[in-house]
Amino acid sequence: MTGKFGGSPRRTTAEMVARAANVSRAAVSRAFNPDAPLKPEKRARILKLAEELSYTPDRAARALVTRRTHLVGVIVPDVCSPWESQEIDALTSALQAEGFATLLFKTRTDFSMDETLLAYMRGFNPDSVIAFTENVRPHILTRFLDRAVPIYINYVMEGGTDGRRPGEPETLFDRIDVDQWEGMEQAVALLAGYGCSRIAYLCGKEDFLAEHARRKTLQALMKRRGLGSPVIVPGDFSYDAGHAGMLDLFRVGEGADAVFAANDESAFGALDALRYELKLRVPEDVKVIGFDDIAQSHWRSYNLTTVKIDLEARVRAIVRLILRRLKAPQAPALSETVRTRLVVRGTVG
């Protein structure tokens, strides 16, 4: 039911649907709330009429009643790198399938977040906020949230950690625990099986939890197998840093017979430097392993052996955390664990 008033189309209201269905305004609201009590045949009749009249509930009005906005804030340090862009794409699709809209917020270059932007986020009153950056700490973020409990990504190390930093205030947050041990253990076992004795580790960004966890895990696994310590090659997760790191390692340093990169993108840079500048064969002269298993890793020109974080499983775990928290808003800290495994391709063999 639409009309013209002052040249603008008139939006169908709940009252119009109520009159057409000969029910109360409250019954229309209950029809759009699957948890509200209403006879099935009455609900079906109201929803059918609403569709015919092109009526959709006012989200803002419903939020005042239900205290649910169906908005999820996502804080990211980067939207262009392969892993982040693929995760944001998959997460947005999964959230939309559950009836949520996504609000994307990008950090500053130092991966912190301006408090003005945090206050702006608060104005949307999101149901949940996912922080894909460690610099926006829980005790700071929660000052700008209403009922939402933030979700953080925690990279588990030997001995376990809940993602808190020493001396931080006790703040409620939920987390995804990424267990890197199994996949990295398989990677080190594979290199050891091929007789690799000088393994280089191509680092990620120095202050990142993921980088710290990967380096410490690799050092522990190599020590267990009597392989000594990895040769540390500075990096920052980027292709260019991976490429430059390999040139330094082989032209200035003593080289290596295997390279374990902190992520796939830097592994691609290492591969290109090894093959095209250094004229070395992969895997015959140098074996290369990455981390993440981004979509480009299986491309024929790279065919990269890598430790896989199952993106679909990780996204589904995030969505489960959101749904669990909304179902039990007063629950203590919730967590989901995502495991890793080695995917063997042509750069080791």
Domain-embedded: residue 329: yes
Mean pLDDT confidence for 292-298: 97
Q: What is the pLDDT of residues 223-256, one digit of tens each?
A: 999 999 999 999 999 999 999 999 999 999 999 9
Domain-embedded: residue 101: yes
The verdict on 43 and 88 lying in the same domain is no
CA nearest neighbour of 313 among 335, 338, 340, 342: 338
Mean pLDDT confidence for 44-48: 87
pLDDT of 56 strictly over 90: no
pLDDT of 63 strictly over 60: no
CATH number of the domain enclosing 286: 3.40.50.2300
Mean pLDDT confidence for 295-319: 97
The verdict on 234 and 320 lying in the same domain is no
Q: What is the pLDDT of residues 76-128, one digit of tens each?
A: 988 889 999 999 999 999 999 999 999 999 988 777 888 888 888 888 899 99
Of 8 and 253, more confident: 253
Mean pLDDT confidence for 206-211: 90
pLDDT band at 9 (very low <50, low <70, confident <90, very high): low
pLDDT of 65 strictly over 60: no
- Which one-letter amino acid corresponds to residue 19? R
Q: Are 243 and 273 in contact (CB under 8 A)?
A: yes
Burial 168-193 (b: 16+ CB within 10 A, else e): eeebebbbbbbbbbebbbbbbebbbe
Mean pLDDT confidence for 292-304: 97
Burial of 247 (0-12, 13-18, 19+ CB in 10 A): middle
The verdict on 327 and 304 lying in the same domain is no
The verdict on 52 and 139 lying in the same domain is no
**Domain count for the chain:** 3
pLDDT of 4 strictly over 50: no
- Which one-letter amino acid corresponds to residue 195? G
Domain-embedded: residue 66: no
Domain-embedded: residue 349: no
Q: Is 104 helix (H, G, I), strand (E, B) or coil?
A: strand
Mean pLDDT of the chain, nearest integer? 90
| DSSP secondary structure string for all residues of 245-311 | HHHHHHHTS---SEEEESSHHHHHHHHHIIIIIS---TTTT-EEEEEE--GGGGSTTT--EEEEE-H
pLDDT of 198 strictly over 70: yes
The verdict on 15 and 38 lying in the same domain is yes
pLDDT band at 147 (very low <50, low <70, confident <90, very high): confident
CATH number of the domain enclosing 14: 1.10.260.40
Q: What is the pLDDT of residues 263-287, one digit of tens each?
A: 999 999 999 999 999 999 999 999 9
pLDDT of 3 strictly over 50: no
Cβ neighbors of 235 (< 8 A, separation 6 or more) are 202, 203, 204, 241, 242, 245, 261, 262, 266
CA end-to-end span of the chain: 67
pLDDT of the residue at 35:
66
Q: Are 265 and 82 in contact (CB under 8 A)?
A: yes
pLDDT of 20 strictly over 80: yes
Tokens of 187: 């990677």
The H-or-E segment that residue 27 falls in is: helix 25-31
The H-or-E segment that residue 340 falls in is: strand 335-343
The verdict on 19 and 112 lying in the same domain is no
pLDDT of the residue at 191:
98
Domain-embedded: residue 63: no
The verdict on 211 and 107 lying in the same domain is no
Domain-embedded: residue 346: no
> How many C-beta atoms surround the C-beta of residue 167 within 10 A?
5
The verdict on 120 and 166 lying in the same domain is yes
High-pLDDT (> 90) share of the chain, %: 64
Of 48 and 175, more confident: 175
pLDDT of 157 strictly over 60: yes
Structural domain harbouring 200: 181-309
Rounded-to-10 torsion of CA 241, 297, 95, 39: -170
pLDDT of the residue at 58:
60
pLDDT of the residue at 62:
52
Angle at 170 between CA 167 and CA 174, to 5 degrees: 120
pLDDT of the residue at 162:
66
pLDDT of 320 strictly over 80: yes
The verdict on 254 and 270 lying in the same domain is yes
The verdict on 16 and 76 lying in the same domain is no
pLDDT of 216 strictly over 50: yes
Q: Is the pTM of this model over 0.75?
A: yes
pLDDT band at 14 (very low <50, low <70, confident <90, very high): confident
The verdict on 316 and 173 lying in the same domain is yes
The verdict on 165 and 285 lying in the same domain is no
pLDDT band at 158 (very low <50, low <70, confident <90, very high): confident
